[in-house]
């Protein structure tokens, strides 16, 4: 990719209609619902009695990953919009699809969903705080942030619709009508994941030439960033001496970010800034591939199922 294209990514604004944002929100809610119908309230009771895995996971998610991301930005010095895109993705809570991938990996799905729930609620404050703090430390991204304000109320509404409501509805359905959830569980999980990936591709169709033009500028960074996130989760859980069952959940939850929420924030608050949007979109596709590959490897190791 030539230098002109690299520079241009900071000025390009991708088109993303309000209707597309509503569809994206609905898809993310379906993904969360598809995970929630596999859970019951008792799955979370032992987490209240032994909260250590949850606290380790949240520390990895909101403290260690953003710090590592800032280190990556300082080491590589990417274009400002790309750097801010990496920081924003790292500041997002765990992705809903992480729960599905954790389940396939033989990890603690209840811990994964708890991490997603707590981190997403915490994102009301922690996501804007991490974006502002880490983005403000890097002079090129500081200039972008000066022109932007993230509304915590809007984030709170998005969080409620995307995660809390479908989580409660899914668990309620599983509690009251397990016969229905037994039939819906597997096809809905695969369908929701496929729809989410398909939507990212279709939503970028109007900007496809720009996406292809700039994807090369972010591909390697996103792959390295995702590897750092997975490594951070595994290292944090290992240092805390969590069981293999819980370590799988913390690893995947830290490495699977809610890039869908990232896209909502980017198009809602940053005007679809090119580098940020391409980073989040590439993350949305890559972390599914890396997560499923890692889950397949984990699932073949019996230690992953030890409680």
The token pair at 67 is 């710090």
Q: Which residue has the tokens 């241009």?
A: 8
Weakest mean pLDDT among 101-110, 199-208, 249-258? 199-208
CA distance 246 to 54: 9
Weakest mean pLDDT among 4-13, 69-78, 246-255? 4-13
| pLDDT reading at 199 higher than 80 | no
- CATH number, domain 19-305, options 1.20.1530.20, 3.40.50.720, 3.40.50.2000, 2.60.40.650: 1.20.1530.20
| pLDDT reading at 232 higher than 90 | yes
Mean pLDDT of the chain: 79
How many CA atoms, within 13 angstroms, populate the side-chain half-sphere of residue 7? 3
Weakest mean pLDDT among 120-124, 160-164, 257-261, 271-275? 160-164
pLDDT band at 209; cut points 50, 70, 90 = low
CB neighbour class for 268 (10 Å; exposed up to 12, middle 13-18, buried from 19): middle
- Domain residue ranges in the chain: 19-305
Q: Using a pLDDT cut of 90, give the percent of the chain over it.
A: 24
- 181 close to 38: Cβ distance less than 8 angstroms: yes
- 86 close to 225: Cβ distance less than 8 angstroms: yes
Residue 134 has a pLDDT of 94
Mean local confidence (pLDDT), 277-300: 86
Q: Which residue has the higher pLDDT, 68 or 305?
A: 68
| pLDDT reading at 38 higher than 90 | no
Q: Which helix (H) or strand (E) holds 103?
A: helix 97-104
Mean local confidence (pLDDT), 114-133: 82
Residues 6+ apart with CB under 8 A from 82: 9, 217, 218, 221, 275, 276, 278, 279
| pLDDT reading at 50 higher than 80 | no
């Amino acid at each position: 990719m030539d230098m002109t294209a690299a520079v241009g990514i900071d000025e390009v604004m991708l088109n993303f209609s309000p209707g597309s944002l509503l569809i994206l929100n609905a898809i993310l809610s379906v993904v969360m619902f598809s995970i929630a119908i596999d859970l019951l309230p008792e799955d979370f009771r032992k987490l209240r009695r032994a909260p250590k895995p949850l606290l380790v996971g949240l520390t990895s998610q909101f403290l260690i990953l953003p710090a590592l991301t800032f280190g990556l930005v300082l080491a590589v010095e990417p274009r400002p919009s790309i750097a801010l895109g990496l920081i924003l993705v790292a500041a997002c809570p765990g992705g809903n699809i992480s729960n599905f991938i954790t389940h396939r990996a033989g990890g603690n799905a209840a811990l994964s969903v708890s991490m997603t729930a707590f981190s997403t609620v915490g994102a009301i404050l922690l996501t804007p705080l991490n974006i502002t703090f880490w983005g403000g430390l890097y002079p090129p991204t500081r200039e972008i942030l000066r022109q932007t304000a993230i509304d915590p109320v809007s984030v709170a509404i998005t969080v409620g619709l995307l995660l809390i409501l479908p989580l409660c509805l899914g668990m309620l359905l599983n509690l009251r009508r397990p016969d229905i959830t037994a039939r819906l569980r597997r096809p809905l999980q695969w369908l929701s994941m496929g729809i989410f990936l398909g939507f990212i591709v279709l939503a970028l169709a109007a900007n496809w030439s720009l996406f292809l033009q700039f994807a090369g500028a972010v591909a390697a960074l996103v792959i390295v960033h995702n590897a750092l996130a997975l490594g951070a989760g595994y290292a944090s859980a290992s240092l805390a001496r969590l069981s293999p069952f819980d370590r799988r959940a913390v690893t995947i939850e830290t490495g699977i970010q809610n890039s869908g929420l990232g896209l909502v924030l980017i198009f809602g608050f940053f005007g679809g800034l090119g580098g940020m949007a391409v980073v989040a979109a590439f993350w949305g596709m890559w972390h599914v591939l890396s997560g499923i590959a890692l889950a397949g490897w984990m699932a073949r190791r019996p230690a992953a199922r030890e409680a």
